[in-house]
Structure 1
Amino acid sequence: MLFKGPCSVHSRLAHMLMALVLLGLFVQTLRIATDGKRSPLLKDAEVIPEGNASPEELYLGRLTRELGLSNEASWVAWRIQPSEQSEVWPSVTEVQLNFGAVSPKTINLASPDRMDLYAKKRMELPVPTGPKLGDVDASDFLFGISTTYARISDRDYAMIKAWARWLTDGHHHSNGASMVVVLDQANASQLDEVDRALQASGLDCWVTTTEEPMSMARRYFELTRILKTFAANLAANGQNKRWFGLVEDDVFFPSLSYLRDRLFSYNTDSQHYIGLPSEKLDWDTSENEQIQTHGGGAVLLTLSALTRIPNLPCFETERSKKTSFKSKRWDELLHTCLMKHTELQMHVLPGFYSPNDKTVDENVDSYETGQQPLLLRRYAHRHLLNINKAHLVTNVCGESCFMQRYLFKDNWVLVNGISITQYPDGVKIEHKETHKGAPTEEKKEEHQKRSNPDSDEAGRDISGSLTERLLIDDDAGSVDRATLSWSGRRNAWKLVDSAVSKDGAVWQAYFKRGKKNSARDVQQQQQSSSADEKDSIIVLVWEQAKSAL
Structure 2
Amino acid sequence: MGASMATGGSFAPRNSFTRILFLTVFCFVLFIYTFKPSSMEHIEHLRPPQMHPQPNNSYAPERQSDCTLKQSSLMQLQDTYDLGDEIEYARRYVRFHRQDIPRKAITKLDTDLFPRGFDSIDIRNPPPRTTCLKPIDVPVPRSPIPNTVNASELLFGISTTYSRLTDEEISPINEWAHWLTDGNGKSNGAGLILRLIDASKEELEEARHVMASMGMDVKVYPTDSSIEMAKRYLSLLPALYKDSSRPNRKFLVLGDDDTFYPSMHSLLHELSQYDHKKDLYLGTLSEDTNNIARHGSQAFGGAGVFFSLSLAKKVADKFDHCSTNEKIDESDTGWGPKATSSYENAFTRTPRQHSRSCVTSINSTSKVIPRGSTRQASNPYHCTTSKAACGTKRGPDDFIISNGFSIAYYPHGVDFNLHQMEKTFTAAPDDYGWNLDFMLGPQRKNLLWTGRKVAWELMESLVQHDGSVKQIYIRKADDYRWTYGKDGNRMFDKDGVLELIWISS
- Alignment TM-score > 0.5, same fold: yes
Contact 2:69 2:126 in 1 (8 A): no
The one of 467, 473, 477 aligned to 1:510: 473
Q: What one-letter code is carried by the residue in structure 2 that aligns with 1:389? A: H
Aligned equivalents of 1:59, 1:282: Cα separation in 2: 47
- Output one character per residue of 1:356-401: Cα deviation in whole Å (capped at 9) or x when no partner: x9xx99x964415xx544322133xxxxx2233332223xx3xx54
What's the CA shift for 1:172? Answer: 1.4
Matched, 1:108 2:122: yes
Alignment TM-score, normalising by the size of structure 2? 0.72
- Output one character per residue of 1:417-462: Cα deviation in whole Å (capped at 9) or x when no partner: 1011112222247598xxxxxxxxxxxxxxxxxxxxxxxxxxxxxx
Going from structure 1 to structure 2, the CA distance change for 1:282 and 1:102 (only over 3 Å counts) comes to farther
Q: Which residue of 2 aligns with 1:78?
A: 92
Q: What one-letter code is carried by the residue in structure 2 that aligns with 1:220? A: Y
Matched, 1:148 2:136: no
Contact 1:215 1:325 in 2 (8 A): no
Matched, 1:299 2:305: yes
The one of 376, 397, 404 aligned to 1:378: 376
The one of 389, 397, 408 aligned to 1:421: 408
Going from structure 1 to structure 2, the CA distance change for 1:502 and 1:376 (only over 3 Å counts) comes to same
What's the CA shift for 1:332? Answer: 2.9
Q: Which residue of 2 aligns with 1:122?
A: 135
Aligned equivalents of 1:300, 1:145: Cα separation in 2: 13
What's the CA shift for 1:337? Answer: 2.0
Matched, 1:258 2:250: no
Aligned equivalents of 2:457, 2:287: Cα separation in 1: 22
Q: What one-letter code is carried by the residue in structure 2 that aligns with 1:244? A: L
Aligned equivalents of 1:197, 1:330: Cα separation in 2: 40
The one of 384, 398, 406 aligned to 1:391: 384
Matched, 1:410 2:397: yes
- Output one character per residue of 1:158-211: Cα deviation in whole Å (capped at 9) or x when no partner: 322220011111221101111111222322122111111121111011111236
- Counting only pairs closer than 5 Å after superposition, residues 334-345 of structure 1 correspond to structure 2 as 334-345=338-349
Aligned equivalents of 2:121, 2:278: Cα separation in 1: 62
Aligned equivalents of 1:222, 1:156: Cα separation in 2: 29
Q: Which residue of 2 aligns with 1:280?
A: 287
Contact 1:144 1:247 in 2 (8 A): yes
Aligned equivalents of 1:73, 1:99: Cα separation in 2: 19
Please state whether the residue corresponding to 1:493 is helix, strand or coil.
Answer: strand
Alignment TM-score, normalising by the size of structure 1? 0.66
Q: Which has the larger radius of gyration?
A: 1
The one of 82, 104, 112 aligned to 1:68: 82
Q: Which residue of 2 aligns with 1:540?
A: 500
Aligned equivalents of 1:158, 1:493: Cα separation in 2: 23
Aligned equivalents of 2:479, 2:158: Cα separation in 1: 43
Please state whether the residue corresponding to 2:282 is helix, strand or coil.
Answer: strand
- Output one character per residue of 1:133-160: Cα deviation in whole Å (capped at 9) or x when no partner: 2222212211111122222232288322
Q: What one-letter code is carried by the residue in structure 1 that aligns with 2:339? A: H
What's the CA shift for 1:120? Answer: 3.8
What's the CA shift for 1:91? Answer: 2.7
Aligned equivalents of 2:457, 2:123: Cα separation in 1: 21
Contact 2:296 2:334 in 1 (8 A): no
Aligned equivalents of 1:204, 1:190: Cα separation in 2: 18
Q: Which residue of 1 aligns with 2:367?
A: 367
Aligned equivalents of 2:335, 2:147: Cα separation in 1: 32
Please state whether the residue corresponding to 1:533 is helix, strand or coil.
Answer: coil
Q: What one-letter code is carried by the residue in structure 2 that aligns with 1:208? A: Y
Going from structure 1 to structure 2, the CA distance change for 1:156 and 1:412 (only over 3 Å counts) comes to closer
Please state whether the residue corresponding to 2:235 is helix, strand or coil.
Answer: helix
Q: Which residue of 2 aligns with 1:49?
A: none
Aligned equivalents of 1:364, 1:329: Cα separation in 2: 38
Matched, 1:191 2:189: no
Q: Which residue of 2 aligns with 1:234?
A: 245
The one of 333, 336, 347 aligned to 2:337: 333
What's the CA shift for 1:280? Answer: 2.4
Please state whether the residue corresponding to 2:98 is helix, strand or coil.
Answer: strand
Q: Which residue of 2 aligns with 1:214?
A: 227
Please state whether the residue corresponding to 2:492 is helix, strand or coil.
Answer: helix
Aligned equivalents of 2:127, 2:253: Cα separation in 1: 52
Structure of higher RCO (CA pairs closer than 8 Å, 6+ residues apart): 2
- Output one character per residue of 1:332-356: Cα deviation in whole Å (capped at 9) or x when no partner: 32112222343443532325579xx
Contact 1:215 1:322 in 2 (8 A): no
Contact 2:331 2:337 in 1 (8 A): no
Question: Greater helix share, 1 or 2?
Answer: 1
In structure 1, runs of 5+ residues without a counterpart are 1-34, 41-52, 380-384, 433-464, 467-471, 518-529
Please state whether the residue corresponding to 2:150 is helix, strand or coil.
Answer: coil
Q: What one-letter code is carried by the residue in structure 2 that aligns with 1:221? A: L
The CA RMSD measured in Å over matched residues stands at: 4.0
Matched, 1:179 2:192: yes
What's the CA shift for 1:491? Answer: 2.0
In structure 2, runs of 5+ residues without a counterpart are 1-47, 54-66, 420-433, 481-489
Size of the aligned set, in residue pairs, is 416
Q: Which residue of 1 aligns with 2:255?
A: 247
Aligned equivalents of 1:268, 1:540: Cα separation in 2: 42
Q: What one-letter code is carried by the residue in structure 1 that aligns with 2:410? A: Y
Contact 1:427 1:485 in 2 (8 A): no
Q: What one-letter code is carried by the residue in structure 1 that aligns with 2:271? A: L
The one of 499, 507, 520 aligned to 2:462: 499
- Counting only pairs closer than 5 Å after superposition, residues 132-143 of structure 1 correspond to structure 2 as 132-143=145-156
Q: What one-letter code is carried by the residue in structure 1 that aligns with 2:149? A: V
Q: Which residue of 2 aligns with 1:520?
A: none
- Output one character per residue of 1:233-263: Cα deviation in whole Å (capped at 9) or x when no partner: 2266xxx211211111110101111111222
Contact 1:296 1:331 in 2 (8 A): no
State, as a whole percentage, how many aligned pairs show the same letter: 25
Aligned equivalents of 1:491, 1:537: Cα separation in 2: 13
